[in-house]
Amino acid sequence: MHLKLNLAALTSTELERLLGMDASRGVMSELSAAKLVGKAFPYVFNPLEEVQALSTPEETLQWSQELQDLGFTCHPLQLDTGFFRHLHQVPFSSELMVVTASWTPQGNAHLEAFSVLKDPVAGINAVVTTSAPHVFPLEFSEVISYKQVALPTPHFLEGHQQHVKQFGRPLKQNHAEDPLMVLRLVRDLCARAWLRRGVLLDESAPQARRGP
């Protein structure tokens, strides 16, 4: 299933992160014309269909060992396109969070931590922490709190836990062996917020503009 975005609803920063500087400049005149008359500018994001032949980055192997030494359970490699990006991910789960060792097809690696909140405050329902800047093309909304925390791994995990405490308590996983539940909940929260914002469009693929 192709994900349709309304490029006319994105900020210039989001557009550049998603398409790259050259491609975003290439559609700028069409975008300006669409915004001028209040029209959407549909775009189909093409997810990765298979794992590309790319060796696992050395950092990811190190993080995997560190997380397992800290009691996290390792899960099979998956492809992530839920935030409109192309990533390979190895998820790790504990009772209160999911951590993914992620890397791009170009081999750039980073860590991400996800927690869904129980009885959230301040309108924040989930917390995401990353070790890399600008890793998410689209900005999160009032339902998600995002923060960057530096490595090493124990400091990263501590930073995520402190970030969570600002907004509530993390929801315990009933099935710690299934980290995809937490990732799915976070993505669903984002999708609902992006629908309200007009970033997501419900259009058939033939009507939408295909990305490069």
Q: What is the pLDDT of residues 158-185, one digit of tens each?
A: 999 999 999 999 988 766 567 778 898 9
Question: Does residue 51 have a pLDDT over 80?
Answer: no
Token couple for 20: 């790259």
How many angstroms separate the CA atoms of 13 and 31, rounded?
A: 14
Give the angle subtended at the CA of 133 by the CAs of 183 and 12, to the nearest 5°. 95
pLDDT confidence of residue 209 = 52
pLDDT top residue among 122 and 147: 147
Place 66 in a pLDDT band, splitting at 50, 70 and 90.
very high
Percent of the chain with pLDDT over 90: 46
**pTM for the model:** 0.88
How many angstroms separate the CA atoms of 118 and 171, rounded?
A: 5
pLDDT top residue among 123 and 63: 63
